[in-house]
Structure formats: structure tokens, C-alpha cells
């Protein structure tokens, strides 16, 4: 199988059959070889820098009912909250002082945040923090809405495609949602000029190596600036409460493959990875990841944005998380960078990079 890893490194592409064979046939030795190659590529482009993104989970209301997600609308025991413009700005101020130059606004699909309200929030962050990148992760919206928020000053958008395969997608979501629509949103975002991020859960119920092969082919075609992957972790109040979590082993393997397929991609070692293993994020970095996304949400609401059980860092102040991650990264020979941390994959980009001006 080593020859497939060599081929991937040399050409950045594999056929569907090769992806499936590689994922199905992986071994611990092969994984070590892959990680070593992935680190070499990562060091070539990004050195030993790890970029940080301040995650602001601004609403846990959601109109959707994804079978895996703890904030799905049918979860009546979730304590719901919303942050207003002022509270979001407050998180950004704290984050800025801690060295964050990217803010990620993530939330459930909450109708209360109309285009007007959302644009207002984006504009005020843009005004107060001209040298920072604004990333949105608000789920599926209309193309007009994406355009409006881009015009208001957002630079990046994260929307995991979750799984490319339509039949697999159907088993994870209710009828009202479709793989095709989600993918169309990603093409729209890219066309508008966002630095776009996609991704998928590893080990979601019913997932096969063939499904993962389809995910890799789709990501190759989309050629995004960011790819967020993390293990599926069950939440006790969802239909998937009894399903097994995705494994550390497979998540790391997929991270390594993504780094070789898209050498310049921004690849987070996610909170979910840190949740299934105490050193999951460190291992993620050593498999090729180059981003971590500590939480900037106010401590009062942290424990309410629970997509899955046993989520880490729900009681920690942003400053503690920041310090903790710094220590963790240093322990493996990496350092946190105070910068926007834009992707080097700028081929398809318009405004955002040239407009990134540092303050006097």
C-alpha cells in the first residue's frame, strides 16, 4: 500500500478504487509512514506554526433535526441560548487580547439571525477588528444571503458536506435535507469568493470505506481552503445515542491523507478529536493538521453547545484554553502563531487576502 501513499504525495490524486483499497487496507505501519510524509509536506508549507481560531458558538437553536447532533430541534432537554451583537463583540475583544486574529461564528440554523441581523454582527466585527478574519459557520442559506454576508465583511465559511454519498446522507438526516443541496451551497460559497471549508464526520453510523473514498474525491474536486474532520461522537439525546464513536486511528489516518492530497489546506485538529483521546489534538497535528480552534464562547453558555457527549473545555475560560493549547503544542515541538493564518491555497480566491490589512 505504500505505493499508493507515494502516488498520492506525487500526484495529489487517487482513483476511487485506490482510495477504497488504501482506507480499507490501512495498518499501523502504513499509518506511521503516512504521518511522516504528511508532516514533511506540512513543514514545507507551514513550518511548525499552528494557527488558532477563536470559536464563538453564538446560538444553539436549530431548525434542523440531524440524527447525530445534540442541538437538533427535537432535543427538548437542551438548554437553548442566543448571544447578541454586544456579547459576540465581547468575545472578540477577549480573544483579540489573547492573540486571536480569526473569529469563527458558529451556530445552529437559527431563523432569528436574519440576513440583516447577521450582516450587522459581521459589520461590527469588521469595524472593530480590521486585521482579523471573520469565518462563518451558519449552515445552509441562500446564495443571496451568503453574498450579503460576504459583502458585509465575512472572509471564510465552514460548511462540512458531512458525507458525499446521497444514500448515506439520507441515513443521517431527515428528508428535508439533502446532500445535493449542501454541496450546492459549497459551490456557491466558493464562487462568491469565500475561503471555503468543507469536511465530514469520521465513523458516522453506516459509513463505509467507499463513502470515505467518495468524500476524498469530492474534496479534491472542490479544492477548498479548509477541511474540518472529526470523529462522530454519540449524544445521549439523539437517535444515534447507541452507535459507536468514530476512532482516533481512522480520524488520524484521514487527516494524513488530506494533507497529502491538498498540501496547502488548513486542517484543524478538532475538539471532537481531543474529546475521544486526551492527546487527540496533539496526535492530529503530528498526522498533518495545522489548526486548533479553542472556544471563546462565554463560560455561562459553553456547557450548552453540546453536539456530542463529554465535550472537552466546557468549563474553561478562553485564556486557560489558550494557555493549555500553547503548552500542548510546545510539548510536541510546534508553536501557536498570532496571525490570520490564511490558506496558501489562494488560486480560487478574490478579495480576502489583499484586503487583509494590519493595523498601524
Q: Which residues bind ligand FES (CB under 6 A)?
A: 294, 313, 316, 320-321, 324-325
256 or 294: whose CB is closer to ligand FES?
A: 294
State residue 235 phi and psi, 5-degree precision.
-115, 135
- Provide, rounded to whole angstroms, the least separation between the CB of residue 270 and ligand FES: 12
DSSP string for 334-357: -EEE-S----S--TT--HHHHT--
Q: Which does 294 bind (CB under 5 to 8 A by kind): ligand SAM, ligand FES, none?
A: ligand FES
**Residue 228 per-residue DSSP state:** E
Decide: 172 and 190 in contact? Cβ < 8 Å.
Answer: no
What minimum distance in Å lies between the beta carbon of 245 and ligand SAM?
8
CA 148 distance to own-chain centroid: 22
- Looking at 69, 78, 91, 267, which residue binds ligand SAM (CB under 6 A)? 69
Applying the rule CB under 6 A, the residues between 116 and 155 that interact with ligand SAM are: 137-139
Min separation Cβ 253 and ligand SAM, Å: 17
Are the CB atoms for 109 and 139 separated by under 8 Å? yes
Cell 497529502, residue located: 260
Binding positions for ligand SAM, 265-304, rule CB under 6 A: 272
- In the complex, the smallest distance separating the C-beta of residue 198 from ligand FES, rounded to whole angstroms, is 24
Question: β-pairing, 156-158 with 102-107?
Answer: unpaired
| CA–CA distance, 3 with 325 (Å, rounded to integer) | 35
With respect to ligand SAM, which residue has the nearer C-beta, 8 or 295?
295
Rg from Cα positions in the chain: 19
Name the minimum Å distance from CB 318 to ligand FES: 9
Task: For the CB of residue 59, give the shortest distance to ligand SAM in the complex, in Å.
Answer: 9
Q: Which does 321 bind (CB under 5 to 8 A by kind): ligand SAM, ligand FES, none?
A: ligand FES
Q: Does 232 bind ligand SAM (CB under 6 A)?
A: yes
207 within 8 A of 169, measured Cβ to Cβ: no
Q: Which does 136 bind (CB under 5 to 8 A by kind): ligand FES, ligand SAM, none?
A: none
Would you give the binding string for ligand SAM spanning residues 94-113, x where CB under 6 A is met?
A: ------------x-xx----
Count of residues binding ligand SAM (CB under 6 A)? 19
Residue pair 109/63 in contact (Cβ under 8 Å)? The answer is yes
CA distances to 69, 168, 173, 244, 334 from 204, in Å: 11, 10, 12, 8, 30
Bridge partners of 144, per DSSP, are: none
Residues engaged in binding ligand SAM (CB under 6 A): 68-69, 106, 108-109, 137-139, 159-160, 162, 201, 230, 232-233, 235, 272, 307-308
Amino acid at each position: 500500500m505504500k505505493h499508493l501513499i507515494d502516488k498520492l504525495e506525487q500526484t495529489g490524486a487517487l482513483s476511487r478504487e485506490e482510495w477504497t483499497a488504501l482506507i480499507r487496507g490501512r495498518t499501523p505501519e502504513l499509518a506511521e509512514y503516512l504521518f511522516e510524509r504528511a508532516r514533511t509536506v506540512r513543514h514545507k508549507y507551514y513550518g511548525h506554526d499552528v494557527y488558532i481560531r477563536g470559536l464563538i458558538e453564538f446560538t444553539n437553536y436549530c431548525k434542523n433535526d440531524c440524527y447525530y447532533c445534540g442541538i437538533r430541534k427535537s432535543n427538548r432537554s437542551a438548554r437553548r441560548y442566543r448571544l447578541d451583537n454586544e456579547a459576540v463583540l465581547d468575545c472578540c475583544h477577549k480573544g483579540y487580547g489573547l492573540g486571536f486574529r480569526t473569529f469563527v461564528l458558529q451556530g445552529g440554523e437559527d431563523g432569528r439571525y436574519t440576513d440583516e441581523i447577521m450582516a450587522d454582527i459581521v459589520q461590527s466585527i469588521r469595524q472593530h477588528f480590521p486585521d482579523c478574519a471573520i469565518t462563518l459557520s451558519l449552515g445552509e442559506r441562500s446564495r443571496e444571503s451568503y453574498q450579503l454576508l460576504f459583502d458585509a465583511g465575512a472572509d471564510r465559511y465552514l460548511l462540512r458536506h458531512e458525507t458525499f454519498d446521497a444514500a448515506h446522507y439520507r441515513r443521517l438526516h431527515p428528508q428535508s435535507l439533502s446532500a445535493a443541496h449542501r454541496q450546492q451551497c459549497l459551490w456557491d460559497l466558493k464562487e462568491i469568493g469565500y475561503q471555503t471549508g468543507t469536511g465530514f464526520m469520521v465513523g458516522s453510523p453506516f459509513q463505509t470505506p467507499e463513502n470515505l473514498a467518495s468524500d476524498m474525491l469530492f474534496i479534491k474536486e472542490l479544492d477548498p481552503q479548509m477541511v474540518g474532520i472529526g470523529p462522530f461522537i454519540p449524544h445521549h439525546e439523539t437517535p444515534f445515542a447507541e452507535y459507536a464513536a468514530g476512532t482516533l486511528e481512522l480520524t488520524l489516518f484521514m487527516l494524513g491523507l488530506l494533507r497529502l492530497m491538498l498540501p496547502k489546506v488548513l486542517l484543524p485538529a478538532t475538539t471532537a478529536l481531543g474529546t475521544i483521546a486526551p492527546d487527540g489534538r496533539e496526535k492530529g497535528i503530528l498526522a498533518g493538521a495545522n489548526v486548533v480552534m479553542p472556544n471563546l464562547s462565554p463560560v455561562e453558555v459553553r456547557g450548552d453547545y453540546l453536539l456530542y457527549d463529554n465535550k472537552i473545555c466546557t468549563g474553561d475560560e478562553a485564556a486557560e484554553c489558550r494557555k493549555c493549547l500553547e503548552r500542548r503544542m510546545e510539548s510536541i515541538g510546534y508553536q501557536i502563531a498570532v496571525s490570520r493564518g490564511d490558506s496558501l491555497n489562494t488560486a480560487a480566491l478574490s478579495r480576502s487576502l489583499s484586503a487583509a490589512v494590519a493595523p498601524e
